[in-house]
Structure formats: C-alpha cells, structure tokens
C-alpha cells in the first residue's frame, strides 16, 4: 500500500488530480485500507451547516487497519519504542503483535467495566505506552476517547469530563518529568469531586507513589486486565462515527471539544504521514509531542501506526538529565525522522553547541517542525546543527481542527524554504482572503488563511454545540473554513504562516485563549477587571502578558502579582501562567466599552511609538499610565 509521492512532478500531478477530481483521488487512497463495508459515496458536504461526510456508509475499525492488518507481514516489527524519563531505566519495545495483544486485552477490560460503543472515556496519563494502548483500546470497542494533557489542573480536567459526560477516566498514580515526580491520580480525585458522570477510574502504576483508591470506583490497571483475553473483536464503526474529542482553546472563554470521525481521519493521517516524512519501511520515527495534543494523536499514534511504522515515545523532557538528551536518544535508537516544536529548538539553542557534540545524529534523514511559526534563525540552527545541512526540514502547518498536516514541504520532494510552510498537501485548497473575504490571487499577497474545499480529516463539529463550530470556523467567510491564522504567499508562490489573527496566544505551541486566561485571573477576589495579550518571547514564541485592575487593599504589587499567577496555574494549569502581570489603574476602552487589545499588545511588545491614534478612546489618559507602569 503506497501512496507516497516520489518526485516533484509527481507532487504536481497528484495535486492537480486531487483538486480536479477529489472524490476519485481520496477514493483511491481509501481503497487500500481494510473496510468492513465499502462506502456508497466518497464525499457529501456543505460548509454552511457545516455538514461534512467522507466515505458515506462505509464501515471500518481504525484499529484493524493499525493492528490486524499488520500482524502477518510485520507482527514482529517494532510498533512502539518507549524511552523512559530516566536514561538508566530500560526502554521498552512493543512489536505490532504485542501491541495488538495489549490493546485487545485492555479493550476487554474496559468492556468488562461497562464501557461500550459511543461512551466517552477521558485519558489523563503521562507519556507511557499505556496511553497509546488506551487510545487504541477505546477505538477498538467504539468508545470515544478524549485525551487531556496531564499538565492541566483539576478544574480544567473537570470541565472537560463534564462537557463530554465521560463515563470512565484512565490515569496513572504519578508522572516522572525530569527531576520531578508529579501526582496525577490526586488531580483526578480533585476533579471528580465536581463530576457525576464518571463511574470507574482505572489507574496505571507508574511512579509507585501513594494514591487514595476510592472503593467501587477506582481500579488498578494490572487488576482489570487479569484474565482478559488478548483477542477482542473490533467494533464496526460508521466512517462518520466519532473517533475522539480533543479540547482546544479558542478566542472565547471555554475550550471546545473538536470532534474527529473514524474514516476520514484514518485516511488523512496515514496519507500525510507517509508523504510529509517520506517514511520508509524500517525507519525509526520520533515525534516529541505529548499525546495530550493533536500532534501526539495524529503523528505519534494514528498516522505512524496506520503506516506500519516504528514510532518512538519519550516520557521525559528535553533537558533532563542534560541538554543533549534528545540527541542522545536519536543516536541510541537510530532515529531517522525527528519531529519537534520551535520552542524546544529555541530552548536547546540557548545551551549552545556543546550538548550536541557527543552525538553523531547520522541516522537522521528528515527533521520537522510544528506548533508555531519557526523563525529563520531557529530554522537555520535546526537545519545546520541537527540536520547537519543535509536533512530536509519540513515546517508543517496544521491545527487541532484540521486533524492532519495541511501545508508543508514533502521531505526531499518539494523545495525547502526557511520559515515557510510552503505548499499545500494534495487535497488541500488554501486561499488567502482580505478582510471582506475576497480571494487574493497571485503572488506577493497577505491576508487571512482559509480553506475552500473539505479534506478527509476536517473537524466535523464541536462536541455538544454544533453552532459553535459553525460560528467559529464557517461563518466569518461564507463558504470557507477560516483558520484564524494570517498568511502570506511570497513572490515564489510559497506560503508563510504569520500567526493568529484572533484572540488566541500560542505559547510554546500550546494554544491559549486570552478570554480563558482572563476568566481565570478574574477568579481572584482582588481582581476587578483584566485583559490578556501575547507578546514576543525568545523561547516560547509568545508569552502571556496580563493587565489587571485590582483592589490593592492589604496587598503589595508583588504579592498580588504572584497570587494572580498562582490562581491561573490552579484554574487552568501551569502552562497558562502569565509571564508578566501588570497592575493598572484602568484599561484602554473604546466608547462602546470594548477593551482595545491592539494598544495593550503594542505596550506589551515595547512598541510604544506604534500605538496609533488613541484620542478616540473613552479614557486616553490611562494609556500613559500603563506605559509608565510597564517600564517598571
């Protein structure tokens, strides 16, 4: 089964076919998968609804395409290599056959605990093989998984559990990250105080730390799998049945549950994986993301395993026990494709070249970047010092909502251009529009990035609130999917992503809604009003800058700032902590009472000379005071 593009002219040819005859194009890719029943129509769509169906009436189970299909030819090949946090601990290799057995066994265990097709299961786990096993076991029995990044707070976890009415939570006692041992089960316990839908919690023993087990609710992983068969029939799923929900931040307060379905997601994650990374049988592929993010779903678990690849999972952090850990792992496991985030590159760059020197990195063939725009300087460092100047660097642009990589070079096939995601994958039809939605054709244009035709892994809905999906993505410009990103098509016709044009901040590749952070800050009893903006940050890409009007009675600026930071950490999680909190006497507002974030963004960036006209503000005098305060 190969749909791998081999040459530049092959790319051009495939791209044209995919645009002129999309149904024929995707039908042909889908034919090489195992379907329990064939589809009656490749695509039914309407962006108004939105109502998008791929492989209509087709029946399948994604795990049959990941596991059963690979058993005979490559049952003994490694599927997952797991590298633990401690370099001294043995790594684990699971062959396709072993993965098959573990997934089936855990599927049976979940069924025995009352989980069935359509039930929602929360996975709140560290980066251990069982996290992938849990995802696949859900998919095997038709349960809908929702992985929540194990760094989120109890209240963020509770919001997600309640939003999707989850019946079960899969978790671990704790999590090793660098020098730290972090409680995980304790966070679940706290979250469940405000959740009534959860019937069972299954706990994997990882750190061995003490946990409280609630009787009739909490069970050990090792106990529930005891005596369970290592064979489990794969549930028949409609192509449009839900595969998973993944919560992501947007420009309004509450994270939304992005829904992906079985058929289209399977086809597109496979297709994009083999083409972008030019994966060859036997290669060792490593993506450093966490399974709590979409990158972990599509390019640690589903895409690679659908392709029969060997995917490496790393439990730890880039700087433990030393800043060369990534490179040590590349050499140790002979990694061929390495996929990481610009923030990790910039953080490691700060340690200089010394940590790289002991390692040859000679097995690398392809290096990749994802999560935020990669600045030219970081691009060159990554390309020269990690790729040694001879690995194509794929700058992959995509989103939780797109399910898979949309704009990227195909490694070694289409041209590499620093800081440019470059060209759309076959089947992807991006356009740049002006503020009124007019398409800007030709080169040297800049505007908002939209997609004008569906692709198989496009978002189907936002869980429990279809109108929110419509409003967020399909209403800004009629007949188009709006990405929320700005983009430029340069003089050569390559696309460069310029970052968000909405109220979303991208901190180290993690999306944070400004409203979400403001809501958390406003929970502090001393805060009267707040406004949050992003500002340029050397390592994180963007940092979080919070302006807050507060009642200062009984507080110093310093202790109140710290309390605000702690409040955000408690409510959302440490990843949302503001880098800077400024207590202000007022916030700049329009006459209709809207906060002028544009002005706050300029102040946060230190661009005081570019504030523009502030005279039309309701309270222009406050701007001076904020500028003064920002210099402290």
Chain residues binding ligand 7RM by CB under 6 A are 248, 293-295, 369-373, 395-400, 421, 483-485, 497, 499-500, 506, 509, 511
β-pair type (180-183, 41-46): unpaired
Q: State in angstroms the smallest separation of the CB of 395 from ligand 7RM.
A: 5
Q: State in angstroms the smallest separation of the CB of 413 from ligand 7RM.
A: 18
Question: Which residue, 155 or 295, has its beta carbon nearer to ligand 7RM?
Answer: 295
CA atoms within 13 A on the CB side of 459: 32
Residues 6+ apart with CB under 8 A from 190: 154
Q: State in angstroms the smallest separation of the CB of 499 from ligand 7RM.
A: 6
Q: State in angstroms the smallest separation of the CB of 396 from ligand 7RM.
A: 5
Closest CA to 454 of 470, 430, 486: 430
Question: Which residue, 63 or 396, has its beta carbon nearer to ligand 7RM?
Answer: 396
Question: Which residue, 169 or 497, has its beta carbon nearer to ligand 7RM?
Answer: 497
Q: What are phi and psi of 256, to 5 degrees?
A: -110, 150
Question: Which residue, 195 or 301, has its beta carbon nearer to ligand 7RM?
Answer: 301
Q: What is the DSSP string of 133-155?
A: HHHHHHHHHTPEEEE--TTS-HH
β-pair type (59-60, 78-83): unpaired
Q: State in angstroms the smallest separation of the CB of 343 from ligand 7RM.
A: 11
Question: Which residue, 369 or 514, has its beta carbon nearer to ligand 7RM?
Answer: 369
Alpha helices in 256-390 (DSSP H): 262-277, 294-296, 303-306, 325-333, 342-349, 376-381
Question: Which residue, 207 or 483, has its beta carbon nearer to ligand 7RM?
Answer: 483
| Angle, alpha carbons 622-627-630 (nearest 5°) | 125
Q: State in angstroms the smallest separation of the CB of 605 from ligand 7RM.
A: 18
Cα–Cα distance measured from residue 129 to residue 488, given in angstroms and rounded to the nearest whole number: 40
Q: State in angstroms the smallest separation of the CB of 502 from ligand 7RM.
A: 9
Question: Which residue, 488 or 511, has its beta carbon nearer to ligand 7RM?
Answer: 511
Per residue, the 3-state secondary structure of 281-301, as one string, reads: CCCEEEECCCCCCHHHHHHHH
The partner residues of 462 in beta bridges, in order of sequence, read: 258
Question: Which residue, 396 or 461, has its beta carbon nearer to ligand 7RM?
Answer: 396
Q: State in angstroms the smallest separation of the CB of 401 from ligand 7RM.
A: 7
> Quick count: other Cβ atoms within 10 Å of Cβ 295?
23
Cα–Cα distance measured from residue 350 to residue 353, given in angstroms and rounded to the nearest whole number: 9
Question: Which residue, 129 or 534, has its beta carbon nearer to ligand 7RM?
Answer: 534
Residues 6+ apart with CB under 8 A from 615: none
Q: Tell me which residue has tokens 């390019």.
A: 299
Q: State in angstroms the smallest separation of the CB of 341 from ligand 7RM.
A: 8
The partner residues of 340 in beta bridges, in order of sequence, read: 369
Contact 267, 29 (CB under 8 A): yes
């Amino acid at each position: 089964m190969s749909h791998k593009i081999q040459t530049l002219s092959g790319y051009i040819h495939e791209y044209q076919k995919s645009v002129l005859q999309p149904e024929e194009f995707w039908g042909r890719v889908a034919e090489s998968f195992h379907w329990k029943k064939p589809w009656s129509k490749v695509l039914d769509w309407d962006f108004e609804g939105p109502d998008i169906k791929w492989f209509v009436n087709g029946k399948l189970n994604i795990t049959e395409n990941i596991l059963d299909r690979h058993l005979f030819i490559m049952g003994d090949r490694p599927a997952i290599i797991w590298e633990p946090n401690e370099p001294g601990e043995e790594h684990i290799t699971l062959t396709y056959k072993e993965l098959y057995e573990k997934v089936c066994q855990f599927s049976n265990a979940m069924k025995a605990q009352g989980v069935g097709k359509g039930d929602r299961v929360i996975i709140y786990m560290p980066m251990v093989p069982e996290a992938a096993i849990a995802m696949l076991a859900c998919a095997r029995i038709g349960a809908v998984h929702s992985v929540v990044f194990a760094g989120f707070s109890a209240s963020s976890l509770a919001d997600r559990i309640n939003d999707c009415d989850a019946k079960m939570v899969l978790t671990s006692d704790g999590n090793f990250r660098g020098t730290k041992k972090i409680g995980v089960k304790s966070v679940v316990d706290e979250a469940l105080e405000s959740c009534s839908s959860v019937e069972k919690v299954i706990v994997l023993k990882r750190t061995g730390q003490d946990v409280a087990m609630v009787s009739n609710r909490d069970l050990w992983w090792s106990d529930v799998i005891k005596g369970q068969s290592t064979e489990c029939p794969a549930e028949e799923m409609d192509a449009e049945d839900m595969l998973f929900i993944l919560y992501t931040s947007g420009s309004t307060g509450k994270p939304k549950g992005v829904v992906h379905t079985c058929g289209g997601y399977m086809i597109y994650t496979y297709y994009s994986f083999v083409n972008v990374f030019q994966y060859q049988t036997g290669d060792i592929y490593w993506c450093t993301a966490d399974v709590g993010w979409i990158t972990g779903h599509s390019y640690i678990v589903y895409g690679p395993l659908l392709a029969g690849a060997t995917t490496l999972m790393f439990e730890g952090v880039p700087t433990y026990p030393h800043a060369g850990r990534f490179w040590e792992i590349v050499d140790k496991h002979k990694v061929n494709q390495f996929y990481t985030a610009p923030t990790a590159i910039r953080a490691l760059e700060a340690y200089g070249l010394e940590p790289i020197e002991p390692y040859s990195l000679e097995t690398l063939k392809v290096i990749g970047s994802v999560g935020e725009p990669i600045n030219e300087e970081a691009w060159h460092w990554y390309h020269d010092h990690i790729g040694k100047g001879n690995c194509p660097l794929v700058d992959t642009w995509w989103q939780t909502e797109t399910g898979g990589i949309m704009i990227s070079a195909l490694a070694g096939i289409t041209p590499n251009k620093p800081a440019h995601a470059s060209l759309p994958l076959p089947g992807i039809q991006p356009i740049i529009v002006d503020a009124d939605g007019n398409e800007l054709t030709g080169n040297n244009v800049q505007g908002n990035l939209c997609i004008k035709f569906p692709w198989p892994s496009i978002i189907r809905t936002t869980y429990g609130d279809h109108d929110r999906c419509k409003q967020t993505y399909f209403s800004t410009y009629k007949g188009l999917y709006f990405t929320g990103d700005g983009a430029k098509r340069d003089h050569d016709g390559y696309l460069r992503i310029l970052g968000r044009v909405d109220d979303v901040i991208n901190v180290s590749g993690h999306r944070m809604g400004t409203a979400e952070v403001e809501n958390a800050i406003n929970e502090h009893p001393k805060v009267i009003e707040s406004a949050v903006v992003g500002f340029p940050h050397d390592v994180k890409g963007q940092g979080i800058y919070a302006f807050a009007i507060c009642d200062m009675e009984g507080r110093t600026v310093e202790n109140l700032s710290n309390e605000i930071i702690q409040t955000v950490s408690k409510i959302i999680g440490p990843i949302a902590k503001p880098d800077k909190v400024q207590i202000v006497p007022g916030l700049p507002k329009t006459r209709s009472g809207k906060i002028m974030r544009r002005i706050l963004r300029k102040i946060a960036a230190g661009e005081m000379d570019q504030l523009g006209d502030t005279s039309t503000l309701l309270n222009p005098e406050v701007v001076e005071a904020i500028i003064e305060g920002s210099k402290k």
